[in-house]
Amino acid sequence: MIEFQDICKRYRVARREPGFGNAVKSLFNREYDIVNAIDHISFTINEGEMVGYIGPNGAGKSTTIKILSGILTPDSGSCVVNGQVPWRDRKEYVRQIGVVFGQRSQLWWDIPVIDSFELLQAVYSISVPAYRNKLEELTQLLHLEELLKTPTRQLSLGQRMRCEIAASLLHDPRLLFLDEPTIGLDAVSKIAVRGFIKKMNEEHRTTVILTTHDMQDIEAIARRVILIGRGQKLMDGTLEDLRLTSESVGSEGQSQETDIDHIIAGLYAKLNIV
Amino acid sequence: MKKYICFFKLRFATGMQYRMATVTALTTQLIWGLMECLAYRAIAEASGGKMPMDYSSIVTYIWLKEGLLVLFNTWAADNDLFAMITDGGIAYELCRPLSIYSMWFSRTVGARIAEAFMRCVPVLFCAFLLMPKAYRMTLPVSGVSFLLFLLTVFLALGITVTFCMIVYMLCFFTISPQGWRMVLTGAVDFLSGNVIPLPFFPKKYLFLLELSPFAYMQNVPFRIYSGDLMGGDVYLCILKQIFWLAVLMLLGIALWKKAEKRVALQGG
Protein backbone atom coordinates (compact mmCIF):
# COMPACT_ATOMS: atom_id res chain seq x y z
CA MET A 1 0.00 0.00 0.00
CA ILE A 2 2.70 2.50 0.93
CA GLU A 3 6.20 2.18 -0.49
CA PHE A 4 8.48 4.83 0.89
CA GLN A 5 11.86 4.45 -0.78
CA ASP A 6 15.08 6.22 0.07
CA ILE A 7 13.42 9.61 0.60
CA CYS A 8 15.49 12.70 1.44
CA LYS A 9 14.23 16.14 2.30
CA ARG A 10 16.48 19.04 3.17
CA TYR A 11 15.51 22.43 4.53
CA ARG A 12 17.48 25.63 4.30
CA VAL A 13 17.49 27.35 7.64
CA ALA A 14 18.61 30.95 8.09
CA ARG A 15 20.95 31.30 11.05
CA ARG A 16 22.61 34.23 12.69
CA GLU A 17 24.41 35.21 15.85
CA PRO A 18 22.37 37.14 18.41
CA GLY A 19 22.33 40.92 18.67
CA PHE A 20 21.45 43.98 16.68
CA GLY A 21 24.75 44.22 14.83
CA ASN A 22 24.37 40.74 13.49
CA ALA A 23 20.76 41.39 12.54
CA VAL A 24 21.95 44.28 10.36
CA LYS A 25 24.76 42.19 8.95
CA SER A 26 22.35 39.45 8.04
CA LEU A 27 20.42 41.90 5.88
CA PHE A 28 23.32 41.88 3.46
CA ASN A 29 24.95 38.56 3.96
CA ARG A 30 22.71 35.80 5.10
CA GLU A 31 24.04 32.48 6.19
CA TYR A 32 22.06 29.35 5.70
CA ASP A 33 22.46 25.90 7.10
CA ILE A 34 21.18 22.86 5.33
CA VAL A 35 19.21 20.62 7.67
CA ASN A 36 18.50 17.07 6.63
CA ALA A 37 14.97 16.66 7.87
CA ILE A 38 14.76 13.21 6.31
CA ASP A 39 17.86 11.34 5.31
CA HIS A 40 17.33 8.22 3.18
CA ILE A 41 14.29 6.81 4.95
CA SER A 42 12.55 3.72 3.53
CA PHE A 43 9.65 1.62 4.74
CA THR A 44 6.69 -0.33 3.45
CA ILE A 45 3.26 -0.37 5.02
CA ASN A 46 0.51 -2.79 4.13
CA GLU A 47 -3.19 -2.19 3.93
CA GLY A 48 -4.96 -2.20 7.27
CA GLU A 49 -1.82 -1.71 9.33
CA MET A 50 -1.62 0.72 12.22
CA VAL A 51 1.83 2.20 12.50
CA GLY A 52 3.17 4.47 15.20
CA TYR A 53 5.81 6.85 13.99
CA ILE A 54 7.91 8.10 16.86
CA GLY A 55 11.03 10.10 17.49
CA PRO A 56 12.11 13.21 19.41
CA ASN A 57 11.04 16.70 18.36
CA GLY A 58 12.57 17.65 15.04
CA ALA A 59 13.27 14.05 14.04
CA GLY A 60 11.36 14.39 10.77
CA LYS A 61 8.01 12.88 11.70
CA SER A 62 5.83 15.70 10.46
CA THR A 63 7.91 16.04 7.33
CA THR A 64 7.27 12.38 6.56
CA ILE A 65 3.53 12.86 7.04
CA LYS A 66 3.58 15.91 4.80
CA ILE A 67 5.40 14.02 2.07
CA LEU A 68 2.91 11.17 2.36
CA SER A 69 0.06 13.67 2.12
CA GLY A 70 1.42 15.15 -1.09
CA ILE A 71 2.04 18.54 0.49
CA LEU A 72 5.83 18.50 0.32
CA THR A 73 7.95 17.32 -2.54
CA PRO A 74 11.03 15.38 -1.39
CA ASP A 75 14.47 16.17 -2.82
CA SER A 76 15.13 12.60 -3.81
CA GLY A 77 13.72 9.11 -3.46
CA SER A 78 10.43 7.63 -4.52
CA CYS A 79 7.13 7.10 -2.81
CA VAL A 80 4.18 5.19 -4.17
CA VAL A 81 0.93 5.00 -2.28
CA ASN A 82 -1.78 2.84 -3.80
CA GLY A 83 -0.10 3.13 -7.17
CA GLN A 84 0.09 6.91 -7.03
CA VAL A 85 2.91 9.35 -6.33
CA PRO A 86 1.51 11.73 -3.70
CA TRP A 87 3.08 15.00 -4.87
CA ARG A 88 2.76 14.38 -8.59
CA ASP A 89 -0.98 14.34 -8.94
CA ARG A 90 -1.92 15.90 -5.66
CA LYS A 91 -5.54 16.72 -6.45
CA GLU A 92 -6.41 13.16 -7.45
CA TYR A 93 -4.31 11.54 -4.76
CA VAL A 94 -5.73 13.36 -1.73
CA ARG A 95 -9.22 11.97 -2.29
CA GLN A 96 -8.19 8.69 -0.68
CA ILE A 97 -6.37 10.09 2.32
CA GLY A 98 -7.48 11.79 5.49
CA VAL A 99 -5.05 13.94 7.43
CA VAL A 100 -5.21 15.41 10.92
CA PHE A 101 -2.60 17.92 12.00
CA GLY A 102 -2.98 18.10 15.75
CA GLN A 103 -1.58 21.58 15.94
CA ARG A 104 -3.67 23.15 13.21
CA SER A 105 -7.36 23.47 12.48
CA GLN A 106 -9.30 22.77 9.34
CA LEU A 107 -12.61 23.96 10.74
CA TRP A 108 -13.81 27.47 10.02
CA TRP A 109 -13.29 29.47 13.17
CA ASP A 110 -16.41 31.62 13.27
CA ILE A 111 -19.19 29.32 12.16
CA PRO A 112 -20.77 26.11 13.51
CA VAL A 113 -18.84 22.90 12.90
CA ILE A 114 -21.59 21.42 10.78
CA ASP A 115 -21.13 24.19 8.20
CA SER A 116 -17.47 23.24 7.84
CA PHE A 117 -18.50 19.63 7.38
CA GLU A 118 -20.92 20.57 4.65
CA LEU A 119 -18.20 22.46 2.85
CA LEU A 120 -16.06 19.32 2.97
CA GLN A 121 -18.96 17.32 1.59
CA ALA A 122 -18.98 19.64 -1.42
CA VAL A 123 -15.19 19.78 -1.72
CA TYR A 124 -14.88 16.00 -1.86
CA SER A 125 -18.12 15.64 -3.85
CA ILE A 126 -19.55 13.17 -1.33
CA SER A 127 -23.04 11.98 -2.26
CA VAL A 128 -25.79 13.00 0.14
CA PRO A 129 -26.66 9.49 1.45
CA ALA A 130 -23.00 8.58 1.90
CA TYR A 131 -22.42 11.83 3.73
CA ARG A 132 -25.43 11.31 5.99
CA ASN A 133 -24.38 7.78 6.90
CA LYS A 134 -20.82 8.76 7.61
CA LEU A 135 -21.85 11.77 9.63
CA GLU A 136 -24.20 9.67 11.71
CA GLU A 137 -21.55 7.05 12.33
CA LEU A 138 -18.95 9.64 13.31
CA THR A 139 -21.41 11.57 15.44
CA GLN A 140 -22.16 8.45 17.42
CA LEU A 141 -18.61 7.22 17.82
CA LEU A 142 -17.11 10.58 18.70
CA HIS A 143 -20.13 11.94 20.60
CA LEU A 144 -20.54 15.00 18.46
CA GLU A 145 -24.30 15.66 18.77
CA GLU A 146 -23.85 18.63 21.06
CA LEU A 147 -20.87 20.04 19.25
CA LEU A 148 -22.01 20.22 15.65
CA LYS A 149 -24.04 23.37 16.07
CA THR A 150 -21.41 25.25 18.06
CA PRO A 151 -19.00 27.68 16.40
CA THR A 152 -15.48 26.24 16.37
CA ARG A 153 -14.06 29.09 18.41
CA GLN A 154 -16.21 28.07 21.38
CA LEU A 155 -15.16 24.43 21.51
CA SER A 156 -12.64 23.14 24.01
CA LEU A 157 -9.47 21.62 22.61
CA GLY A 158 -10.67 18.07 23.18
CA GLN A 159 -14.03 18.76 21.60
CA ARG A 160 -12.38 20.45 18.67
CA MET A 161 -9.99 17.58 18.11
CA ARG A 162 -12.88 15.13 17.95
CA CYS A 163 -14.48 17.34 15.31
CA GLU A 164 -11.18 17.63 13.44
CA ILE A 165 -10.84 13.86 13.28
CA ALA A 166 -14.43 13.52 12.10
CA ALA A 167 -13.76 16.17 9.42
CA SER A 168 -10.83 14.16 8.11
CA LEU A 169 -12.91 11.02 7.77
CA LEU A 170 -16.06 12.34 6.11
CA HIS A 171 -14.92 11.28 2.66
CA ASP A 172 -14.18 7.78 3.91
CA PRO A 173 -10.44 7.71 3.17
CA ARG A 174 -8.55 4.45 2.94
CA LEU A 175 -5.55 5.97 4.61
CA LEU A 176 -5.47 8.12 7.68
CA PHE A 177 -2.45 10.18 8.68
CA LEU A 178 -2.53 11.59 12.18
CA ASP A 179 0.12 14.08 13.18
CA GLU A 180 -0.01 14.26 16.97
CA PRO A 181 -3.76 13.81 17.32
CA THR A 182 -3.70 13.67 21.11
CA ILE A 183 -1.53 16.69 21.75
CA GLY A 184 -2.85 18.67 24.69
CA LEU A 185 -5.86 16.48 25.34
CA ASP A 186 -7.09 15.36 28.74
CA ALA A 187 -7.26 11.69 29.68
CA VAL A 188 -10.90 11.22 28.73
CA SER A 189 -10.49 12.74 25.28
CA LYS A 190 -7.29 10.80 24.69
CA ILE A 191 -8.96 7.52 25.46
CA ALA A 192 -11.93 8.46 23.27
CA VAL A 193 -9.66 9.34 20.36
CA ARG A 194 -7.61 6.17 20.70
CA GLY A 195 -10.67 3.98 20.93
CA PHE A 196 -12.12 5.62 17.89
CA ILE A 197 -9.00 5.20 15.76
CA LYS A 198 -8.85 1.53 16.68
CA LYS A 199 -12.46 1.06 15.77
CA MET A 200 -12.05 2.72 12.39
CA ASN A 201 -9.18 0.39 11.69
CA GLU A 202 -11.10 -2.70 12.72
CA GLU A 203 -14.32 -1.86 10.93
CA HIS A 204 -13.09 -0.24 7.74
CA ARG A 205 -9.58 -1.60 7.53
CA THR A 206 -8.35 1.97 7.34
CA THR A 207 -4.58 2.11 7.23
CA VAL A 208 -3.40 4.44 9.98
CA ILE A 209 -0.07 6.16 10.47
CA LEU A 210 0.22 8.29 13.53
CA THR A 211 2.98 10.36 15.02
CA THR A 212 2.93 11.10 18.69
CA HIS A 213 5.03 11.81 21.74
CA ASP A 214 2.57 10.02 23.93
CA MET A 215 3.79 6.45 24.31
CA GLN A 216 0.46 5.36 25.69
CA ASP A 217 -1.03 6.24 22.30
CA ILE A 218 1.43 3.82 20.79
CA GLU A 219 0.73 1.15 23.36
CA ALA A 220 -2.98 1.48 22.81
CA ILE A 221 -3.02 1.70 19.04
CA ALA A 222 0.04 0.66 17.17
CA ARG A 223 1.20 -2.89 16.70
CA ARG A 224 4.12 -1.65 14.68
CA VAL A 225 6.48 1.16 15.61
CA ILE A 226 8.95 3.04 13.42
CA LEU A 227 11.53 5.00 15.36
CA ILE A 228 13.38 7.83 13.68
CA GLY A 229 15.97 10.30 14.91
CA ARG A 230 17.90 13.04 13.16
CA GLY A 231 16.15 12.17 9.93
CA GLN A 232 17.18 8.53 9.93
CA LYS A 233 15.22 5.38 10.56
CA LEU A 234 16.57 3.64 13.64
CA MET A 235 14.15 0.83 14.23
CA ASP A 236 11.09 -0.76 12.70
CA GLY A 237 9.25 -3.41 14.70
CA THR A 238 6.81 -4.03 17.50
CA LEU A 239 6.67 -2.22 20.78
CA GLU A 240 8.32 -5.29 22.31
CA ASP A 241 11.23 -4.93 19.87
CA LEU A 242 11.56 -1.38 21.03
CA ARG A 243 11.91 -2.52 24.63
CA LEU A 244 14.48 -5.10 23.62
CA THR A 245 16.43 -2.55 21.59
CA SER A 246 16.41 -0.29 24.56
CA GLU A 247 17.89 -3.01 26.69
CA SER A 248 20.49 -4.10 24.19
CA VAL A 249 21.69 -0.56 23.56
CA GLY A 250 21.91 0.14 27.25
CA SER A 251 24.96 -1.07 29.10
CA GLU A 252 24.70 -3.75 31.79
CA GLY A 253 21.01 -3.82 32.45
CA GLN A 254 20.56 -0.16 33.32
CA SER A 255 17.06 -0.33 31.98
CA GLN A 256 15.12 -1.55 34.92
CA GLU A 257 12.55 1.03 34.06
CA THR A 258 9.14 -0.33 33.29
CA ASP A 259 7.49 2.96 32.48
CA ILE A 260 7.35 3.29 28.72
CA ASP A 261 8.21 7.01 28.76
CA HIS A 262 11.40 6.29 30.65
CA ILE A 263 12.32 3.49 28.32
CA ILE A 264 11.91 5.75 25.31
CA ALA A 265 13.72 8.67 26.92
CA GLY A 266 16.55 6.31 27.77
CA LEU A 267 16.60 5.00 24.25
CA TYR A 268 16.73 8.48 22.72
CA ALA A 269 19.59 9.38 25.02
CA LYS A 270 21.53 6.23 24.25
CA LEU A 271 21.06 6.57 20.53
CA ASN A 272 22.17 10.17 20.86
CA ILE A 273 19.34 11.53 18.77
CA VAL A 274 17.84 14.16 21.04
CA MET B 1 -19.08 24.12 -9.45
CA LYS B 2 -21.00 23.10 -6.36
CA LYS B 3 -17.85 23.24 -4.27
CA TYR B 4 -17.17 26.78 -5.26
CA ILE B 5 -20.71 27.84 -4.50
CA CYS B 6 -20.24 26.22 -1.11
CA PHE B 7 -17.24 28.42 -0.37
CA PHE B 8 -19.39 31.34 -1.32
CA LYS B 9 -22.20 30.26 1.01
CA LEU B 10 -19.82 29.66 3.85
CA ARG B 11 -18.28 33.09 3.56
CA PHE B 12 -21.75 34.50 3.46
CA ALA B 13 -22.56 32.73 6.71
CA THR B 14 -19.32 33.96 8.25
CA GLY B 15 -20.15 37.49 7.23
CA MET B 16 -23.50 37.30 8.94
CA GLN B 17 -22.08 35.90 12.16
CA TYR B 18 -21.07 39.31 13.46
CA ARG B 19 -23.93 41.76 13.41
CA MET B 20 -22.28 44.60 15.26
CA ALA B 21 -19.46 44.76 12.72
CA THR B 22 -21.98 45.26 9.95
CA VAL B 23 -23.84 47.99 11.80
CA THR B 24 -20.73 49.99 12.66
CA ALA B 25 -19.30 49.67 9.18
CA LEU B 26 -22.56 50.98 7.82
CA THR B 27 -22.51 54.08 9.97
CA THR B 28 -18.95 54.83 8.94
CA GLN B 29 -19.77 54.50 5.29
CA LEU B 30 -22.80 56.79 5.44
CA ILE B 31 -20.91 59.51 7.24
CA TRP B 32 -17.90 59.13 4.99
CA GLY B 33 -20.06 59.29 1.87
CA LEU B 34 -21.83 62.40 3.04
CA MET B 35 -18.51 64.04 3.84
CA GLU B 36 -17.26 63.33 0.36
CA CYS B 37 -20.42 64.77 -1.14
CA LEU B 38 -19.81 67.97 0.82
CA ALA B 39 -16.18 68.13 -0.20
CA TYR B 40 -17.03 67.86 -3.89
CA ARG B 41 -19.73 70.48 -3.43
CA ALA B 42 -17.08 72.85 -2.15
CA ILE B 43 -14.87 72.04 -5.14
CA ALA B 44 -17.79 72.55 -7.52
CA GLU B 45 -18.59 75.95 -6.07
CA ALA B 46 -14.98 77.05 -6.05
CA SER B 47 -14.44 76.02 -9.65
CA GLY B 48 -17.61 77.69 -10.85
CA GLY B 49 -19.18 74.49 -12.09
CA LYS B 50 -16.28 73.50 -14.36
CA MET B 51 -15.59 69.97 -13.30
CA PRO B 52 -14.55 66.89 -15.23
CA MET B 53 -17.75 65.12 -14.09
CA ASP B 54 -21.08 66.77 -13.37
CA TYR B 55 -22.06 67.00 -9.74
CA SER B 56 -24.90 64.46 -9.74
CA SER B 57 -22.60 61.90 -11.41
CA ILE B 58 -20.09 62.48 -8.64
CA VAL B 59 -22.71 61.98 -5.93
CA THR B 60 -23.86 58.74 -7.55
CA TYR B 61 -20.24 57.65 -7.96
CA ILE B 62 -19.62 58.26 -4.25
CA TRP B 63 -22.64 56.28 -3.09
CA LEU B 64 -21.93 53.38 -5.39
CA LYS B 65 -18.38 53.37 -4.11
CA GLU B 66 -19.57 53.32 -0.50
CA GLY B 67 -22.27 50.76 -1.17
CA LEU B 68 -19.96 48.39 -3.00
CA LEU B 69 -16.83 49.24 -1.03
CA VAL B 70 -16.07 45.66 -0.05
CA LEU B 71 -16.32 44.44 -3.63
CA PHE B 72 -13.47 46.54 -4.87
CA ASN B 73 -11.14 47.51 -2.09
CA THR B 74 -7.86 45.67 -2.12
CA TRP B 75 -6.74 46.56 1.39
CA ALA B 76 -9.33 44.26 2.89
CA ALA B 77 -7.78 41.17 1.30
CA ASP B 78 -8.56 37.94 3.13
CA ASN B 79 -6.44 37.91 6.27
CA ASP B 80 -7.05 34.21 6.83
CA LEU B 81 -5.25 33.44 3.61
CA PHE B 82 -2.23 35.54 4.55
CA ALA B 83 -2.19 33.84 7.93
CA MET B 84 -2.34 30.43 6.26
CA ILE B 85 0.68 31.24 4.15
CA THR B 86 2.77 32.64 6.98
CA ASP B 87 1.98 30.10 9.70
CA GLY B 88 1.67 26.94 7.62
CA GLY B 89 -2.09 26.49 7.93
CA ILE B 90 -2.06 25.98 4.19
CA ALA B 91 -1.16 22.36 4.95
CA TYR B 92 -4.85 21.54 5.20
CA GLU B 93 -5.69 23.45 2.04
CA LEU B 94 -3.17 21.32 0.19
CA CYS B 95 -4.93 18.16 1.37
CA ARG B 96 -8.04 19.05 -0.60
CA PRO B 97 -8.75 17.70 -4.07
CA LEU B 98 -8.95 21.21 -5.51
CA SER B 99 -6.51 23.63 -7.00
CA ILE B 100 -5.47 26.25 -4.50
CA TYR B 101 -5.96 28.99 -7.05
CA SER B 102 -9.59 28.17 -7.83
CA MET B 103 -10.38 27.47 -4.19
CA TRP B 104 -9.02 30.80 -3.01
CA PHE B 105 -10.45 32.66 -5.95
CA SER B 106 -13.98 31.48 -5.25
CA ARG B 107 -13.51 32.01 -1.56
CA THR B 108 -12.46 35.62 -2.11
CA VAL B 109 -15.20 36.34 -4.63
CA GLY B 110 -17.72 34.74 -2.29
CA ALA B 111 -16.58 36.77 0.69
CA ARG B 112 -16.74 39.99 -1.28
CA ILE B 113 -20.14 39.45 -2.80
CA ALA B 114 -21.59 38.26 0.49
CA GLU B 115 -20.36 41.27 2.41
CA ALA B 116 -21.22 43.72 -0.33
CA PHE B 117 -24.71 42.33 -0.46
CA MET B 118 -25.25 42.91 3.21
CA ARG B 119 -23.87 46.40 3.09
CA CYS B 120 -25.09 47.76 -0.20
CA VAL B 121 -28.77 47.34 0.56
CA PRO B 122 -28.85 49.65 3.59
CA VAL B 123 -26.29 52.09 2.17
CA LEU B 124 -28.13 52.44 -1.12
CA PHE B 125 -31.46 52.67 0.69
CA CYS B 126 -30.19 55.65 2.65
CA ALA B 127 -28.49 57.14 -0.39
CA PHE B 128 -31.68 57.00 -2.42
CA LEU B 129 -34.21 58.06 0.17
CA LEU B 130 -32.83 59.50 3.36
CA MET B 131 -30.10 61.85 2.23
CA PRO B 132 -30.75 65.58 1.75
CA LYS B 133 -32.02 66.13 -1.75
CA ALA B 134 -28.83 67.57 -3.21
CA TYR B 135 -26.82 64.55 -2.07
CA ARG B 136 -29.17 61.85 -3.20
CA MET B 137 -28.14 59.10 -5.53
CA THR B 138 -29.89 58.96 -8.87
CA LEU B 139 -31.28 56.04 -10.86
CA PRO B 140 -29.17 54.70 -13.74
CA VAL B 141 -29.50 56.77 -16.89
CA SER B 142 -31.12 53.94 -18.81
CA GLY B 143 -32.03 50.27 -18.61
CA VAL B 144 -29.21 49.37 -20.95
CA SER B 145 -26.67 51.26 -18.94
CA PHE B 146 -27.89 49.44 -15.83
CA LEU B 147 -27.33 46.07 -17.49
CA LEU B 148 -23.90 47.17 -18.68
CA PHE B 149 -23.26 48.37 -15.16
CA LEU B 150 -24.02 44.90 -13.76
CA LEU B 151 -21.82 43.21 -16.33
CA THR B 152 -18.89 45.54 -15.71
CA VAL B 153 -19.29 45.23 -11.95
CA PHE B 154 -18.60 41.52 -12.27
CA LEU B 155 -15.67 42.01 -14.60
CA ALA B 156 -14.25 44.69 -12.31
CA LEU B 157 -14.68 42.36 -9.32
CA GLY B 158 -12.85 39.66 -11.27
CA ILE B 159 -9.95 42.00 -12.01
CA THR B 160 -9.78 43.11 -8.37
CA VAL B 161 -9.77 39.54 -7.09
CA THR B 162 -7.22 38.27 -9.61
CA PHE B 163 -5.07 41.16 -8.49
CA CYS B 164 -5.47 40.13 -4.83
CA MET B 165 -4.57 36.57 -5.84
CA ILE B 166 -1.27 37.84 -7.20
CA VAL B 167 -0.62 39.53 -3.87
CA TYR B 168 -1.37 36.25 -2.02
CA MET B 169 0.94 34.31 -4.29
CA LEU B 170 3.77 36.79 -3.86
CA CYS B 171 3.60 36.14 -0.13
CA PHE B 172 4.77 32.59 -0.70
CA PHE B 173 8.10 34.06 -1.75
CA THR B 174 8.57 36.66 0.97
CA ILE B 175 6.91 34.99 3.98
CA SER B 176 5.84 38.31 5.48
CA PRO B 177 2.84 39.77 3.67
CA GLN B 178 3.20 43.28 5.09
CA GLY B 179 5.44 44.78 2.42
CA TRP B 180 3.52 43.63 -0.61
CA ARG B 181 0.24 44.50 0.92
CA MET B 182 1.14 48.03 1.92
CA VAL B 183 2.65 49.01 -1.39
CA LEU B 184 0.29 47.24 -3.75
CA THR B 185 -2.98 47.81 -2.01
CA GLY B 186 -2.21 51.46 -1.23
CA ALA B 187 -1.31 52.12 -4.84
CA VAL B 188 -4.36 50.33 -6.20
CA ASP B 189 -6.66 52.21 -3.88
CA PHE B 190 -5.49 55.46 -5.39
CA LEU B 191 -5.06 54.37 -8.99
CA SER B 192 -8.40 52.63 -9.33
CA GLY B 193 -10.36 55.72 -8.40
CA ASN B 194 -11.28 54.82 -4.85
CA VAL B 195 -9.89 58.06 -3.46
CA ILE B 196 -10.85 60.45 -6.27
CA PRO B 197 -12.68 59.49 -9.46
CA LEU B 198 -10.27 59.00 -12.35
CA PRO B 199 -11.63 61.84 -14.54
CA PHE B 200 -10.16 64.20 -11.94
CA PHE B 201 -6.64 63.00 -12.72
CA PRO B 202 -4.54 65.24 -15.01
CA LYS B 203 -4.93 64.11 -18.64
CA LYS B 204 -1.27 63.12 -18.99
CA TYR B 205 -1.39 60.71 -16.07
CA LEU B 206 -4.82 59.47 -16.97
CA PHE B 207 -3.46 58.34 -20.31
CA LEU B 208 -0.80 56.27 -18.57
CA LEU B 209 -3.26 54.96 -16.05
CA GLU B 210 -5.54 53.71 -18.80
CA LEU B 211 -2.73 51.47 -19.97
CA SER B 212 -2.84 49.66 -16.61
CA PRO B 213 -5.46 47.28 -15.21
CA PHE B 214 -6.32 49.71 -12.42
CA ALA B 215 -8.46 51.94 -14.62
CA TYR B 216 -10.72 48.96 -15.32
CA MET B 217 -11.70 48.14 -11.78
CA GLN B 218 -14.47 50.17 -10.12
CA ASN B 219 -13.95 53.16 -12.37
CA VAL B 220 -15.76 51.57 -15.31
CA PRO B 221 -19.06 50.37 -13.80
CA PHE B 222 -19.60 53.44 -11.62
CA ARG B 223 -19.20 55.80 -14.55
CA ILE B 224 -21.40 53.72 -16.81
CA TYR B 225 -24.16 53.82 -14.22
CA SER B 226 -24.24 57.59 -14.02
CA GLY B 227 -23.86 58.06 -17.76
CA ASP B 228 -20.42 59.63 -17.47
CA LEU B 229 -19.06 56.87 -19.69
CA MET B 230 -21.18 56.31 -22.77
CA GLY B 231 -21.28 55.05 -26.33
CA GLY B 232 -18.40 53.21 -27.98
CA ASP B 233 -16.11 53.87 -25.02
CA VAL B 234 -18.20 51.50 -22.94
CA TYR B 235 -17.59 48.55 -25.24
CA LEU B 236 -13.92 49.35 -25.56
CA CYS B 237 -13.70 49.36 -21.76
CA ILE B 238 -15.44 46.00 -21.53
CA LEU B 239 -12.96 44.49 -23.96
CA LYS B 240 -10.07 45.88 -21.97
CA GLN B 241 -11.62 44.52 -18.78
CA ILE B 242 -11.74 41.05 -20.28
CA PHE B 243 -8.16 41.42 -21.46
CA TRP B 244 -6.88 42.40 -18.01
CA LEU B 245 -8.92 39.75 -16.26
CA ALA B 246 -7.29 37.08 -18.43
CA VAL B 247 -3.79 38.52 -18.08
CA LEU B 248 -3.94 38.86 -14.29
CA MET B 249 -5.45 35.43 -13.89
CA LEU B 250 -2.77 33.76 -16.00
CA LEU B 251 -0.09 35.63 -14.10
CA GLY B 252 -1.56 34.52 -10.78
CA ILE B 253 -1.78 30.90 -11.88
CA ALA B 254 1.80 30.98 -13.15
CA LEU B 255 2.95 32.38 -9.80
CA TRP B 256 1.06 29.65 -7.96
CA LYS B 257 2.65 26.94 -10.09
CA LYS B 258 6.03 28.32 -9.12
CA ALA B 259 5.06 28.68 -5.45
CA GLU B 260 3.61 25.17 -5.26
CA LYS B 261 6.99 23.64 -5.97
CA ARG B 262 8.68 25.56 -3.23
CA VAL B 263 5.96 25.57 -0.62
CA ALA B 264 7.57 25.31 2.77
CA LEU B 265 5.33 24.88 5.74
CA GLN B 266 6.18 27.29 8.49
CA GLY B 267 5.85 26.35 12.12
CA GLY B 268 6.45 22.62 12.26
In a domain, A17, yes or no: no
In a domain, B221, yes or no: yes
Mean pLDDT of chain B: 87
Span of A85-99, A161-175, A244-258, B76-90 with lowest mean pLDDT: A244-258
Nearest CA in chain A to B91: A71
Please enumerate residues of B whose Cβ is less than 8 A from a Cβ of A. 2-3, 5-7, 10, 13-14, 17-18, 88-89, 91-92, 94-99, 261, 263-265, 267-268
The mean pLDDT of B50-70, rounded to a whole number, is 90
The mean pLDDT of A55-80, rounded to a whole number, is 89
Range of the domain at A108: 46-237
> Across the interface, do A90 and B94 touch by the CB < 8 Å criterion?
yes
> Across the interface, do B91 and A66 touch by the CB < 8 Å criterion?
yes
In a domain, A60, yes or no: yes
User: A205 or B114: which carries more pLDDT confidence?
Assistant: A205
In a domain, B268, yes or no: no
In a domain, B55, yes or no: yes
Domain count of chain A? 1
In a domain, A34, yes or no: no
Residue B265 has pLDDT above 70, yes or no: no
Range of the domain at B254: 2-262
Compare CB distances from B17 to A72, A110, A116 and report the shortest one's residue.
A110
Question: What percentage of chain A has pLDDT greater than the value 90?
Answer: 43
pTM attached to this predicted model: 0.84
In a domain, A117, yes or no: yes
Residue B72 has pLDDT above 50, yes or no: yes
Strand partners, A232: A229
The mean pLDDT of B93-115, rounded to a whole number, is 88
The mean pLDDT of A157-178, rounded to a whole number, is 93
With vertex at residue B259, the alpha carbon angle to CA B254 and CA A210, rounded to the nearest 5 degrees, is 135
Domain count of chain B? 1
Residue B147 has pLDDT above 70, yes or no: yes
Residue B163 has pLDDT above 60, yes or no: yes
The domain spanning residue A52 has which CATH number? 3.40.50.300
Q: Which one-letter amino acid corresponds to residue A93?
A: Y
Q: Which one-letter amino acid corresponds to residue A231?
A: G
Q: What is the largest CA-CA distance in chain A?
A: 63
| Chain A nearest CA to B91, separation (Å) | 7
In a domain, B156, yes or no: yes
Contact call for residues B88 and B266 (beta carbons, < 8 A): yes
Residue A252 has pLDDT above 50, yes or no: no
Residue B228 has pLDDT above 50, yes or no: yes
Residue A256 has pLDDT above 70, yes or no: no
The ipTM is 0.82
Strand partners, A175: A97, A207
| Chain B nearest CA to A35, separation (Å) | 13
